[in-house]
Structure 1
Amino acid sequence: MPPPSPSSASDPLLPSSHNDEIHDETAYDSDEKVHIVGVFSNSDSDIENENEKSSLPFSWKKLWLFTGPGFLMSIAFLDPGNLEGDLQAGAIAGYSLLWLLMWATAMGLLVQLLSARLGVATGRHLAELCRDEYPSWARYVLWVMAELALIGADIQEVIGSAIAIKILSNGYLPLWAGVVITALDCFIFLFLENYGVRKLEAVFAVLIATMALSFAWMFGETKPDGVELLLGLLVPRLSSKTIKQAVGVVGCIIMPHNVFLHSALVQSREIDRSKKSRVQEALKYYSIESTIALVVSFIINLFVTTVFAKAFYGTKVADNIGLVNAGQYLQEKYGGGLLPILYIWAIGLLAAGQSSTLTGTYAGQFIMGGFLNLRLKKWLRALITRSCAIIPTVIVALIFDTREGSLDVLNEWLNVLQSIQIPFAFIPLLFLVSKKQLMGVFVIGPVLKTVASLVTALVMVINGYLMLDFFSSEATGLLFTSIVSTFTAAYVGFIIYLVGRGLNVSNWRSCLDADSRPSK
């Protein structure tokens, strides 16, 4: 663990990275960042001493300049894996899990705000900080786990896009062709990056708007019950029949790679980190923007859940609906119209798949660059990270395209794969934002730390239940059971190591702080 720089020791209020003049940075070059009004002057606020000012006046113009990273982050809450979780929850549990969707989104918001706080306060993202904070062997394990989570998410996203392309082409383009078409989006991504961060964010805004319009149209076509919707939001209900869907709702909302992504995205804005008030200002605007973004994502997820609750809850086909056949079932139920509902669904699904694969490419660059300290050209990093997901996805598409229901089984395996990775993003994040030497005055307080710890523990328990339920039904034979048992032991051991290291470092820092206080 690197010692604090001399300059940081002279200013204990600010994180050590505020005053480090040189550190490896893989997120954004200085000429790529969005300039925020008043970064280098006080003309917009007339403040003589910003470090003594608790807050700067609210500005709609500044909120607009800070708007972007939160909406890119919110796309992970809207990927095809989430849409499948939504439609299955609606079809099997009706409106009864809407309250859980709302609270799961709130938990996701808390985690993402901690990620943004880490990135803004330190000027570095989670993968970079993990590289410095953990020994080499642990760092490489964390990197592999993050990559596996990203690959699992990317396969779901690419397959979702490919399904939409197959629908929109009336089945002319097979699944593997849709995968190849979707794979080319990394070149679109690189092309857009050359035109600046704001242009790229505008493209994502269009894709989110496309999802919102498509699923709102479906909501209007199916006319879900308003009273049942309101009761579903306000009255918690859970039964033994819907426990699996409830676990799926929470598991789909929390995405491990998104924690790494958001801590890097917030660095696309150029702020003066030597001034406490400027960091506080950035945190305030990012909190507002992220909250708005996740409210939008929640509404879109609510549209999908209620549409399928209205259409299929209590029907014989409810248990058989998945991402592959959802559009066809909707078409059989509601038929044509000005624009057949099958194509409305496909357009929304395509927007979800394309936007999430683009952000997956983005996250892959930050994860690989941060953990391995790679200084590669962007096109090469994008090509490497894209290949990691596309090659297995093409293989999957070729194998599973002709097998009825096989893609839904694959999706269950991928959900479990991502659930396994959650502790390896959450625990380091919680440890780092609780570390005063790193965060300075922006370290989280005991109340927020307790709430964040409880949320982390709850999400880990929920996903642990998902894994246990899945493997208990899949584990057949002595060999497979032995492999699962060995993996579980290693998995639990590494989690204990991460938790223990965080607690030991925190206790050690507390002892140092106590020793440094003057005696009375």
Structure 2
Amino acid sequence: MFKKSKEAWRREKHQHSLQEVYSSIKVPQDAGFWKKLLAFTGPGLMIAVGYMDPGNWATDIEGGASFGYTLLSVILISNLFAIVLQHLSLKLGIVAERDLAQACRDHFSPPVNFVLWILCEIAIAACDLAEVIGTAIALNLLFGIPLTWGVVITVVDVFIILFLQAKGFRIIESIVGGLIFIILGCFIYELIVSKPEIFPILHGLVPQKEVVTNPHMLYIAIGILGATVMPHNLYLHSSIVQTRNYPRTTEGKKEAIKFATIDSSFSLMLAFFINASILILSAATFHTSGHHGVADIHDAYQLLTPLLGTTFASIFFGVALLASGQNSTLTGTLAGQIVMEGFLNIRLKPWVRRLITRLIAVIPALIVAILYGERGTSQLLVFSQIILSMQLSFAVIPLVMFTNSKLKMGRFANKPWLKILVIIISGIILILNLYLLYLTFTGL
């Protein structure tokens, strides 16, 4: 499948990734640690969005309601995997000055690149589908807007995002960061009113044998992994990290990797806290009260107020869901642009690119909402995560290949211990996702 080459990169004459914002954000060279870190802060928050999108909510809610705090360890392990993989992604972008899609185009043959592009576009459409459904559900819960109209309203996102992009990349990063802290604030409130038990939470962070021996628990655990590590984020991060205007020298790249890794790791720990909060809220509210069958965002919203005794519990839950859907929309748009330009070197007008991606997601969501209502959209939300799982290995394996190669990365190639670690992580992701697909399509 992969075309071997003795040359480092078969570089073609095409533009930088996201040419309009490439190296557009100044990094002060004579400043202290904190000022430089602030200049690099932003891409990590945009990546963290993909780890808390509406697709994660269903698996976290079901995991908490069914098994209490037991699956917290799975969220933690998934997040550690994500931190390592996003480090590889940002390192590829900084060192090679290529996003992952461009790196694939430089290395693989055209037929292989075309297949990888198709798979990636399917994944982005699946992610966009989750955002459409999540936003529509949130609008329905908060304002009573019918799901079908909620789905139609999401098309307006096209124009909002185009307006924001025209204002500059730092503006988009600030809005994403602001929405993340809204979600964070909502779940801090939810945790306070749900009063979870501390020691069971700490116990849940330790991996338990039953996660593997209990088939239902294993199924949900793999679903959490599939919903956590997002393939489009690996393409996105390798691109947007290049928006910083750091010296393109060995020392400059070394410093950029350090600060970008801090930004990424801290942001993903915020994502871990939010995902863990969803599961903890579900465990403390539903599992302890005997509502073990809650596996649906609608049910969770309706039950929060009577079980916790405060109307704000449901309202904040809905606000957080709406913010999550809008945030994921912003990053999904950029990822779509990056993979099309990177794999095919085709540049469409932004509104055309965005409209195509959104319509691919809106049409099936609209049909299911009309025919099957809220239950159908919830099932479609889960199905979108299955599609993402199918594509994940096709992004992870090239990323590991490139960053392990001394020929391509020079002195920045992964150290032996990191090579072994990322190969193990790739193998685990590949095996678990194949098993998830097997369970899904055999009906087990």
In structure 1, stretches of 5+ residues that fail to align are 6-14, 39-43, 46-57, 475-520
In the other structure, the counterpart of 1:258 is 233
Structure 1 pair 33/400, CA: closer, same or farther in 2 (3 Å)?
farther
Displacement of 1:253 in angstroms is 0.8
Q: Is 1:27 paired with 2:31?
A: no
Q: Decide whether the 8 Å contact of 1:117 with 1:283 is kept in 2.
A: yes
Distance 2:12 2:365 in 1: 42
Q: How does 1:283-302 map to 2 (within 5 A)?
A: 283-302=257-276
Displacement of 1:31 in angstroms is 6.8
Bigger CA drift: 114-123 or 443-452? Answer: 443-452
Distance 2:443 2:5 in 1: 49
Q: How does 1:60-139 map to 2 (within 5 A)?
A: 60-139=34-113
SS of 1:324 mapped into structure 2: helix
Q: Decide whether the 8 Å contact of 1:16 with 1:440 is kept in 2.
A: no
Distance 1:3 1:317 in 2: 57
Structure 1 pair 293/244, CA: closer, same or farther in 2 (3 Å)?
same
Letter of the aligned partner of 1:87 in structure 2? Answer: I
Find 1:150's aligned residue among 124, 127, 140: 124
- Divergent runs of 4+, >6 A: 1-5
Q: Is 1:449 paired with 2:419?
A: yes
Find 1:205's aligned residue among 177, 193, 207: 177
Give me the identity figure in percent. 35
Letter of the aligned partner of 2:115 in structure 1? Answer: V
In the other structure, the counterpart of 1:429 is 399
SS of 2:205 mapped into structure 1: helix
Q: Decide whether the 8 Å contact of 2:5 with 2:107 is kept in 1.
A: no
Displacement of 1:445 in angstroms is 2.2
SS of 2:298 mapped into structure 1: coil
In the other structure, the counterpart of 1:353 is 325
SS of 2:50 mapped into structure 1: helix
Q: Decide whether the 8 Å contact of 1:330 with 1:342 is kept in 2.
A: yes
Structure 1 pair 325/132, CA: closer, same or farther in 2 (3 Å)?
same
Structure 1 pair 449/323, CA: closer, same or farther in 2 (3 Å)?
same
Structure 1 pair 380/26, CA: closer, same or farther in 2 (3 Å)?
farther
Displacement of 1:194 in angstroms is 1.2
In the other structure, the counterpart of 1:244 is 219
* TM-score, scaled relative to structure 1: 0.80
Find 1:311's aligned residue among 275, 285, 292: 285
Letter of the aligned partner of 2:92 in structure 1? Answer: L
Q: Decide whether the 8 Å contact of 1:125 with 1:370 is kept in 2.
A: yes
Q: Is 1:439 paired with 2:409?
A: yes
Q: Is 1:188 paired with 2:160?
A: yes
Q: Is 1:276 paired with 2:250?
A: yes
Structure 1 pair 435/180, CA: closer, same or farther in 2 (3 Å)?
same
Equivalenced residue count is 439
Distance 1:386 1:406 in 2: 19
Post-superposition Cα deviations, 1:193-250, rounded to whole Å, max 9, x if no partner, equal 1111111111001110110011111111111111111111235353414222211221
In structure 2, stretches of 5+ residues that fail to align are none
Bigger CA drift: 232-241 or 214-223? Answer: 232-241
SS of 1:220 mapped into structure 2: helix
Displacement of 1:380 in angstroms is 3.0
Q: How does 1:338-417 map to 2 (within 5 A)?
A: 339-401=311-373, 405-417=375-387
Distance 2:409 2:222 in 1: 33
Distance 2:306 2:151 in 1: 26
Distance 1:119 1:459 in 2: 23
CA RMSD of the aligned region, Å? 2.2
Find 2:135's aligned residue among 146, 161, 168: 161
In the other structure, the counterpart of 1:489 is none
Post-superposition Cα deviations, 1:39-80, rounded to whole Å, max 9, x if no partner, equal xxxxx28xxxxxxxxxxxx61101000000011000011001
SS of 2:208 mapped into structure 1: coil
Q: Decide whether the 8 Å contact of 1:92 with 1:314 is kept in 2.
A: no
Structure 1 pair 152/212, CA: closer, same or farther in 2 (3 Å)?
same
Distance 1:31 1:79 in 2: 26
* TM-score, scaled relative to structure 2: 0.93
Q: Decide whether the 8 Å contact of 2:23 with 2:242 is kept in 1.
A: no
Displacement of 1:183 in angstroms is 2.2
Letter of the aligned partner of 1:259 in structure 2? Answer: L
Letter of the aligned partner of 1:272 in structure 2? Answer: P
Q: Which one has more relative contact order, counting CA pairs under 8 Å at least 6 apart?
A: 2
Distance 2:279 2:5 in 1: 50
Structure 1 pair 31/78, CA: closer, same or farther in 2 (3 Å)?
closer
Q: Decide whether the 8 Å contact of 1:93 with 1:245 is kept in 2.
A: no
Q: Decide whether the 8 Å contact of 2:79 with 2:268 is kept in 1.
A: yes
Letter of the aligned partner of 2:343 in structure 1? Answer: F
Post-superposition Cα deviations, 1:176-200, rounded to whole Å, max 9, x if no partner, equal 2111222211211111111111111
Distance 1:439 1:272 in 2: 17
Structure 1 pair 235/458, CA: closer, same or farther in 2 (3 Å)?
closer
Distance 1:131 1:22 in 2: 12
Distance 1:320 1:308 in 2: 8
Distance 2:425 2:4 in 1: 30
Distance 1:128 1:458 in 2: 26
Q: Is 1:468 paired with 2:443?
A: no
In the other structure, the counterpart of 1:37 is 28
Displacement of 1:255 in angstroms is 1.0
Distance 1:454 1:278 in 2: 30
Distance 2:358 2:376 in 1: 24
